[in-house]
Structure 1
């Protein structure tokens, strides 16, 4: 992951960036509905750490034990890398830190569909066309 190309958020929406920062840095969670290229997605806005923890826990529910261990380990590694990057950024002032490139939702659902179980969702911040702080779906 260290060699991975770093993606940057390409939104200038100060309100969205503020709430992403609250989720990332302060653990704030809130209901949100996003319009992503014409598709509505609702869920609970969460930070990256909560997303990685949730995916890791969800891996334990997989029927295939080998796949469960592999996915759990890979997401644990991703979370460790994320924590390391956050610690390195911690020395920078908040206005010098890069905004998150991804937005994460827990219990995500799409317009006109109902997931059979809570869905974890990750999307590019740059793909969000509009948002509402409520669950509209």
Structure 2
């Protein structure tokens, strides 16, 4: 089978948009680029973040809050160091996309949130760049 046929078969058999999945893979090694995602009728706009950066940022939110917050912070730091400590192999399944400085637009309402995590397979479409009002 030719490389083109293999790529076409892979692209049509996956539940994820392979171009968006490629961006997520590159984000996991340091790319920061603005994207806007269409997810279930809403738009989610923000800066791509690596899984490790996302987990570390969540840990920072819990750190210093109280004893339970410290416990949660340690759990998320373990995720950052365990799950996201090394480059993800090319053949590994990518399941989640992470954004920082995110805004969710739903109808006429928008919600500014610092971090967003979603299932890659739930993304209906995407564009480069973030939305501005």
Q: TM-score range by the shorter chain?
A: 0.7 to 0.9
Change (3 A) 1:81 1:133: same
Greater relative contact order (CA < 8 Å, ≥ 6 in sequence): 1
Give me the TM-score of the superposition, normalised by structure 2: 0.77
Deviations 1:50-94 (A, max 9, x none): 1011111121264xx11220110110122222146x46x65xxx3
What residue in structure 1 maps to residue 115 of structure 2?
120
Partners of 2:84 and 2:46 in 1: how far apart?
24
What residue in structure 2 maps to residue 22 of structure 1?
26
Kept in 2, the 8 Å contact 1:21–1:99? The answer is no
Partners of 2:47 and 2:84 in 1: how far apart?
21
Partners of 1:61 and 1:42 in 2: how far apart?
29
Between the two proteins, the alignment pairs up a number of residues equal to 116
1:78 counterpart SS class: helix
* RMSD of equivalent CA atoms: 2.0
Between Structure 1 and Structure 2, whose CA radius of gyration is higher? 2
Query: Greater share of strand residues, 1 or 2?
Result: 2
Match of 1:103 among 97, 100, 106: 97
| Runs of at least 5 residues in structure 2 that lack an aligned partner in the other structure | 1-13
Give me the TM-score of the superposition, normalised by structure 1: 0.75
